[in-house]
Structure formats: structure tokens, C-alpha cells
Amino acid sequence: MIPITYSPAYTLVPTYECFNRCEYCNFRVDPGQGAWLTLTAAQEILQSLQGQGITEILILSGEVHPQSPERPAWFQRIYDLCQLSLDLGFFPHTNAGPLHQQEMAQFKTVNVSLGLMLEQVTPTLLTSVHRQAPSKKPARRRQQLQWAGELQIPFTTGLLLGIGEQESDWWDSLQAIAELHQHYGHIQEVILQPHSPGPQQTWQASPFPLAALPDLVARARQILPADITIQIPPNLITDLPLLLQCLQAGARDLGGLSPMDEVNPSYPHLPLAQLTLYLAQAGWQLQPRLPLYPHHDAWLTPSLRQRVQAWRQRDVSNGGMQQ
């Protein structure tokens, strides 16, 4: 059986408010139009998750403008949600859009990893789907990946496919990720995420042609260094035989499997037992992992490293995989 990993996860959304207006987005609401998640509500949620096998708390937030007077309160709310998650026995992974370098350094103390989709390096999207999305400037997002490397933060990034880019842009984007990783060694996973239409988006476009995904995975495996894992979201690959083709082409991770995909709420995940059985029948063994790969444990702060290593020791003693 060939191992395929996933993260048993739950997503907390501090706020859906976002100053960007990406035309394909099915997540955001306008600033001032959504309530922020309180720490009291978050604690009730997290306590209800204890003992259910969930390890990762994905903190996924809409973006507050870097110069907004609400930015400090927004940052503090996310920081406090991360600390609360740690206190209750979970491992936070935050994706809150581009951050200041100092914000990243502070988040490193309460997260085992961070993430930001590079999406595409071509600037042409700034005149189409990203015309009202200032933080989607490719240079800004590449800077984020560079800072993560300089700060020794284990990082997840990826491509959003089918948003108006050209095929050559895929290879350029993957090469940009590969070059940064070759310098810093910090990229854990690259997500290949096909655009999947939802009810809220304003952009009128067809979904990414999924039949092209296995070949893209194979080419990505050639471009990316071997120690970067390719991740594909199984809920967006609605044809299960095609999912197997992507695994055969080199994908080895299915990301966070949670009750709801907040970014793509119209696409629920298969029940874990059903997905596990289907993969096993095809020779693939689905295994849980942390949102931190073992070769990056040494980058953690001492208190986080102690928590992670204690979990790994318990997992091994229980017959699990040290992932």
C-alpha cells in the first residue's frame, strides 16, 4: 500500500470580511458586513472538537487592509485564536493573506506552519479577476514566501488553476516556488487547486478542466524539488478515478479534510471512511499527519517543538505514523 497523507482539520474563520474583491471568490463579505468570531464562541467550538481525532485548526481569514485602523485588532484576534487552539491541544496553521514581516514573526510563536497561495505569478490577472484585489499582486505574494524562508517558517503555498492564466504561467509559477524553496528549504506542500464555480462569484467562467490535472501534476512533480509534497483537494476532483490518476502522477497529500471547505462551500468532502475505503481498494493507504512535517520540527520555538514531539511520541506508541 502506498501512503497518502491528509490532515484531520477544522477551520475557524475570524472574519469573512475582506477588502479584496476577487471575482471568483465565494468566501468574502464586504468590510463592516460580517461579525468577527469571538474567543468565547471559538472556545465552545474547540472544546466540542476535543477527543474527535482533529489535530489541525486552520485559521482562515478574510483580509483587513494593511493600513486599516482595524488591522491591529484583526491581528490580535487571530493570534489569540491560535493561542486558544494550542491551549486546548490543537495545532494551528494560519492563512490570513499577505502579512507584514513582523506579523509573520509573531505568528511563528503560535503556529506550527503558515500558508499563502501564490496563485499565479503573471501580472495579467491584475487587469481581470484581480482588478479589485490589491493584495493579489504577484510580487507581494512572492515576498511573503521569501520572508517565510528567512524566518524559517514551514509553509504551504500553491496555484489556483483556471482563473484566466495561460498554461505557461503554471510552469513559471511552479518554477518560482521551486527557486525559493531551493534557497530556503521551507515549502512543505504545493496545492494544485482547480477553480470550481460557486454561487457568490461574479466572474462568469467555466470550471478548470479536470481532465488536464493529472498531466499538470506530473509536470509539477518534475519541476518541484522532491521534498515538496504535491497536494490536491479531493472534494474539487469530483471524478474519483481522476483522483487516482492524480495520485499516480505524483500527488501525495489530500490536505485538510474538514466538515466544510470554507473557500469552496459548494463542494463537500466525502466521508473519511468512504474515501479511505476507495483509496485502499486501489492500493493507497490514507494516513493522518500534522500540519508540520517532521523535517521542520527543529524550526519551531521550544514550546511548540515540545508539544509537537509529545504528540509524535504518543502517535508512535499508539501504532500511528510519525508525520
Q: What is the pLDDT of residues 266-298, one digit of tens each?
A: 999 999 999 999 999 999 999 999 999 999 999
pLDDT tier at 323, thresholds 50, 70, 90: low
pLDDT tier at 116, thresholds 50, 70, 90: very high
Which are the contacts of 34, defined by CB distance < 8 A and separation ≥ 6?
15, 16, 17, 62
Q: What is the pLDDT of residue 75?
A: 98
Q: Which CATH architecture has domain 2-317?
A: Alpha-Beta Barrel (3.20)
The mean of the pLDDT values for the chain is 96
What are the two backbone dihedrals, phi and then psi, of residue 68, each rounded to the nearest 5 degrees?
Answer: -70, 140
Residue 243 CB coordination number (10 Å) = 26
The rounded distance, in Å, linking the Cα atoms of 123 and 108 is 29
192: its cell numbers: 494544485
What Å distances lie between residue 173 and 58, 145, 250, CA to CA?
Answer: 24, 12, 18
Q: What is the pLDDT of residue 318?
A: 66
The rounded distance, in Å, linking the Cα atoms of 206 and 243 is 20
pLDDT at 197 over 60: yes
Residue with the three cell numbers 503556529:
111
DSSP string, 234-260: GGG---HHHHHHHHHHT--EEEEE-S-
What is the reported pTM?
0.96
Q: What is the pLDDT of residue 107?
A: 98
The larger pLDDT score, comparing residue 259 to residue 43, is at 43
Strand 284-288, strand 113-115: pairing: unpaired
Q: What is the pLDDT of residues 237-269, one digit of tens each?
A: 989 999 999 999 999 999 999 989 999 999 999
Q: Measured in whole angstroms, how far is the alpha carbon of residue 23 from the centre of its chain?
A: 20
Q: What is the pLDDT of residue 314?
A: 86
Number of H helices, E strands in the chain: 9, 9
The larger pLDDT score, comparing residue 318 to residue 289, is at 289
Compute the average pLDDT of residues 77-96.
98
Q: What is the pLDDT of residue 238?
A: 87
